[in-house]
Each structure stands twice: as C-alpha cells, then as structure tokens.
Structure 1
Amino acid sequence: MINSMTGFASAKGACAPHSWGWELRSVNGKGLDLRLRVPDWLQGLEAALRAELAKSVTRGNVTLSLRISRSDETGDLALNRPVMQAALAALAEIEAEAQERGMTLAPSRASDLFTLRGMFDAVSGEDDNTALIARLRADFPALVAAFLDMRRNEGAALQQVLGEQLDRIAELAARAAVLAGARREAMALTLRSNLARVLDNAEGADPARVAQELALIAVKADVTEELDRLGAHVTAARDLLAKGGAVGRKLDFLMQEFNREANTLCSKSQSTELTAVGLDLKAVIDQMREQVQNVE
C-alpha cells in the first residue's frame, strides 16, 4: 500500500495546570522538511519530537504545532524577602524622620506592603517541566498514528486512481499497436509505389540504393520499440504500486519515461488516428503525473 504525502491530525490534552493542543499536517514535497513550532522553554522536547517524526515519515513538508496554556497564570505567590526588607527599612527611616520633625504618622500595617511592586513573585513552576515534557512525549505517538492513518487512507484512494490510469494507458498502447500494424501494411504499399515511381522517372538511379533509403524511412517511422517500452513501464509501475511504501520518487521517474515514449509516438505516427491515440496517451500521462506528485 502506498502512502499519500497529504495528512492532518489534531489532539488535545491536559496535565494540571497545563493544557495543550496539537496540530500535525503535511503536503507534498521533493524531500522531507520538518517544521516544528514548540515552546522553547520545554527544553529537549523539540529534538525528541523531530526524531519521532523522522522515523515515521520519509517525504513531505510536515508542520507540527504545539500550543500550551496554563489554567492559573499567576500560580503560587512567593515573598520577595529582599524587597520586603528594603521596604521595612525605608518605612522605619520615614517614621524616624517624622518624629524628629514632630509629626505624627498613622500606624503602619502589614497590608500596606502588599501593594508594593515586587513584593511577591509568581511561581509558575516552569523551572521544572520534567513531568509536563514526559506527558507530552507520551501523548505524541497517538497523534502521529492518527496522522499516518490519514496518509494511508489517502494513499489507498490514490492507488486506485493510479491503477485505473495505468489500465487506460495499457488500453491506449494496445490500440496504438493495432493502428501501427494497419499503418505498416499501408506504408509498405506506399513505399513500393514510390520505389516504382522513382525508378520510372529517374534515369541511372540505383534500385538498391533507392530501396535502402525507403527502408530507412520505414524504420524511422516504426513505433514498435516505443509501444514495447510503454508496456514495460506499465508493468514496472504496477509492481511499484503492489510493493507499496515510499515509491513516489521511482514513480515520478517512470512518468518522465512514459511521457518520452508518448512524445516519440506522436512524432513518428504519420497517421491521424495514431496521432490522436498518442495525444490521448499524453493527456492520461499528465493526469497520472499530477497524482504521482503526492505519493510518498
């Protein structure tokens, strides 16, 4: 079974106080291009996820996004003792200065210090994310499995389309073989007629030399080799589809060979019907080549 390079999967998870959402998607590409968008404060996570993806995917432009949020952004509060000590020292200095000036101040309360900037630090827990990273890594294989399932399902549909297109190419090649056989007989009659006409109207012409030139023309117009190669390419493409796996590059190469044979067939046809078949072949081959671009 072949795989498509098109795929998508998403998932959500939570591990208090964090929650997250995954998105994994891919489109066709000449090679493997992994683009990961992972929070950089989760040290080591991106490298681990990249290695996991590289083991599962061989081709495609793959994008992974991970978004993480906290249910309590402030977290626990920790007293900033240096700030507290500086505030108390400043408060004592103010009260002493006021007494020297004969001023009476209202008694200070501890709650007055709560609003001072920097008195408390928010404890986010992000200094130790070991448990979160472990949970994310455990959550990731299920996302990759869903992603690969979609690529396989897309590949199964793609394989059926490619099989039908190969059947159509084989039918057109068989039709071209019939037309080429009929054309061969007509060309033989035409060549014999031309040979007789040349000998009747050219004094001193060497009959053997003229016959040799006409035979060379017939050989150049013969499309047997092109049709044989088309048949061999069809067999090779079917074998690749049956083999499955990462066969996209080999199929892409075969499509170039298919197109080469169809072009040569058209250029050598010398027949309206055979040219029409050659053009039909080119159309099917172009359609198949577009599909092959999405095979892993």
Structure 2
Amino acid sequence: MLKSMTGFGSATVEANGLTVTAEVKTLNSKFLDIFCRIPKSYSDKEIELRNLITHQLERGKVELSLNLVRTGDIRPAVMINRSLVAAYMQDLRETANGMLLTVPDAELLKLALQQPNAYLTEAPDPEAGASDWEVILGAVKEAIRRCDAFRQQEGATLDSKFKEYIQAIADRLRAVEEQDVRRIPAVRERMQAAVVELVGNEEFDRNRFEQELIYYMEKFDISEEKVRLRTHLDYFIEVLTNEDANGKKLNFIAQEIGREINTIGSKANDAPIQKLVVQMKDELEKIKEQTMNVI
C-alpha cells in the first residue's frame, strides 16, 4: 500500500473545561524531520509527542501545532498576598505621614505590590495536569490518524498514476519490439553492402572482418535490453501491490528502467525507435518525480 508524504490532519477535543486543537502537516523529505509548536508549559512532553509521530508517520517533514483554550472556571496561577500587601500599605502610609507627606492610596498600592512576597504562587494540581494531558494527547492522536488517512488517499492516487505511466512505457516497448522486426533487415542490408565492399578490397583481412562482424552484431542487438526492461516494468507493478511498498525501492527500480531505456536508445541506431525511447523517458521522469513523494 502506497502512502504519500504529503498530508494534513486536524482534531479538536473538549473536556474538563479545556479545548485542545491539534494540527499535523507533512511534506516530502528524505528523512523524518519533526517540528513541534506547543505551549511552553508542556515543553517537557515534546519527546513523548515526537515518539508518537515517529511511530505513526515514519518519514517526511512533520509540523505539529497545539492550541489550548480554557473554557471552564479559571483560577490564576499567581495570586496577591492580600494580608501582607495591606501591612505594607499601612507601613508606607505611616511612614509618609511621619514625613508630613500625602501619598494617594493608588501610589501606596503600587509600591506595596513591588515588595517581597507580595505574590503567592499556587502549586499546580498533579491530577488536573494529568487530566489535561490526556485531553491533549487524544487530540494529537486523532490529528495524526487523520493525517495518515489523508496520506493513504494520496497514495491511492499515486498508485493509479504509477500504473498509468508504467503502462505507457510498456505500450511503447511493444512498439519498439514491432519496429525492431523491421529494423533488423535494414541493418542486415547495410552490413551485406559493407561486406561486398570489403571482400572486393585486395587488403581484405578475414580475421579482422569476423571481429568487426561480431562487434556490430552485439552493438545493434537489443534483445536482452527489451527482456530486462519488460521484467523491470513487471517488478515495479509487483512492488506497488506489496504491503511494504516504499518510495526508495520504487525509485531504485525506476533507475534500472531508465538504464535499459537508455541502452536501447544508444544501440538501436533507428529513428522510429529513438522517438519511442524519448517518449519512454518522458513517462519515466514522471515516475521518478512522484516516487520522491512516497514514504
């Protein structure tokens, strides 16, 4: 089953007075590259999120974004130590009066709030923190699941495209085989004419001639290349249907296909076949481009 490296998934979960929206975006990349945009208060959970992404999405450039909104009763994490601030204000007022100064209460409050221990930090509730994390984790898992489903849909489209491109190459290979039948007699005629010319030459060397004949027979023969190309095309389709199909293997097969196409073009020495080779190369470039986007 093919999976594209391009995907998107979004999920929103509401529970315990907390609304969590998680978004996962993926693009193609040689390796797994993860970027997490999460609140600082959960920075210690980034490793856990990265492990979850690694297990589910395998490969690609992945961006995770988290947005948290409190919808229930909200208590500030930092509160004013009112009794101590009141004592500070009383002391400041008496000091000002002793110096025959009149200071507004607003100014006294501002000064009192700047004094040591004027604020109380509430210790976090471990149970509430664990409950919130479960909500966050649920949203992230659902976003990843939807992103993976998106990748599978894109993979199905790629699968169809690959089969279309491979079939186009196979059709042109069939045309090459038909043209090769007509090409051989033309090559034979040219070689026979060359033989007649050589035999009529007084300096004709039979051993040299046999070596040249074998060389040209091997040079013009594309039988093995046609068989190998057909095999590679069939193997490409076979890999597509495997559960462990992956872009790296498909790209390697595409390189082998390209090698056989190039060899056919260089050995055929035939204009119609050269035209078909160019068309096959065009289809192969489409395959190579798409394999870069397969996991």
For Structure 1 versus Structure 2, the TM-score category normalised by the shorter chain is 0.7 to 0.9
Matched, 1:288 2:291: no
Q: Judging changes above 3 Å, is the alpha-carbon distance between structure 1 residues 17 and 3 closer, same or farther for their aligned structure 2 residues? A: same
Kept after mapping to 2: 8 A contact 1:12/1:21: yes
Question: Which shows bigger deviation, 125-134 or 163-172?
Answer: 125-134
Q: In 2, Cα distance between the equivalents of 1:240 and 1:40?
A: 44
How big is each residue's C-alpha offset from its partner over 1:118-163, in whole Å with a ceiling of 9 and x where there is no partner?
5975878867533222211122221111111100001011101101
Partner SS state of residue 44, structure 1 = helix
Q: Judging changes above 3 Å, is the alpha-carbon distance between structure 1 residues 125 and 148 closer, same or farther for their aligned structure 2 residues? A: farther
What is the alpha-carbon root mean square deviation over aligned residues? 3.0
Task: Give 1:197's aligned residue.
Answer: 197
Q: Judging changes above 3 Å, is the alpha-carbon distance between structure 1 residues 48 and 295 closer, same or farther for their aligned structure 2 residues? A: same
Mapping of 1:76-225 within 5 angstroms?
A: 78-80=79-81, 81-95=83-97, 97=98, 113=109, 117=113, 121=119, 129-200=129-200, 202-225=201-224
Kept after mapping to 2: 8 A contact 1:3/1:245: no
Q: In 2, Cα distance between the equivalents of 1:13 and 1:115?
A: 44
Task: Give 1:273's aligned residue.
Answer: 272
Shift in Å at residue 286 of structure 1? Answer: 0.6
Kept after mapping to 2: 8 A contact 1:45/1:133: no
Partner SS state of residue 259, structure 1 = helix
Partner SS state of residue 19, structure 1 = strand
Question: Which shows bigger deviation, 70-79 or 150-159?
Answer: 70-79
Shift in Å at residue 17 of structure 1? Answer: 4.9
Partner SS state of residue 245, structure 1 = coil
Kept after mapping to 2: 8 A contact 1:74/1:123: no
Q: Judging changes above 3 Å, is the alpha-carbon distance between structure 1 residues 247 and 62 closer, same or farther for their aligned structure 2 residues? A: same
Shift in Å at residue 7 of structure 1? Answer: 0.3
Q: In 2, Cα distance between the equivalents of 1:78 and 1:222?
A: 88
Task: Provide TM-score, normalisation by structure 2.
Answer: 0.86
Q: Judging changes above 3 Å, is the alpha-carbon distance between structure 1 residues 123 and 70 closer, same or farther for their aligned structure 2 residues? A: farther
Q: Judging changes above 3 Å, is the alpha-carbon distance between structure 1 residues 17 and 87 closer, same or farther for their aligned structure 2 residues? A: farther
2:146 corresponds to which letter in structure 1?
A
Question: Which shows bigger deviation, 212-221 or 279-288?
Answer: 212-221
Shift in Å at residue 219 of structure 1? Answer: 0.8
How big is each residue's C-alpha offset from its partner over 1:224-263, in whole Å with a ceiling of 9 and x where there is no partner?
2221221111121111100033511011111112222222
Matched, 1:244 2:246: no
Partner SS state of residue 40, structure 2 = coil
Partner SS state of residue 42, structure 1 = helix
Structure 2: where are the runs of 5+ without partners? none
Task: Provide TM-score, normalisation by structure 1.
Answer: 0.85
Q: What percent identity do the matched residue pairs reach?
A: 25
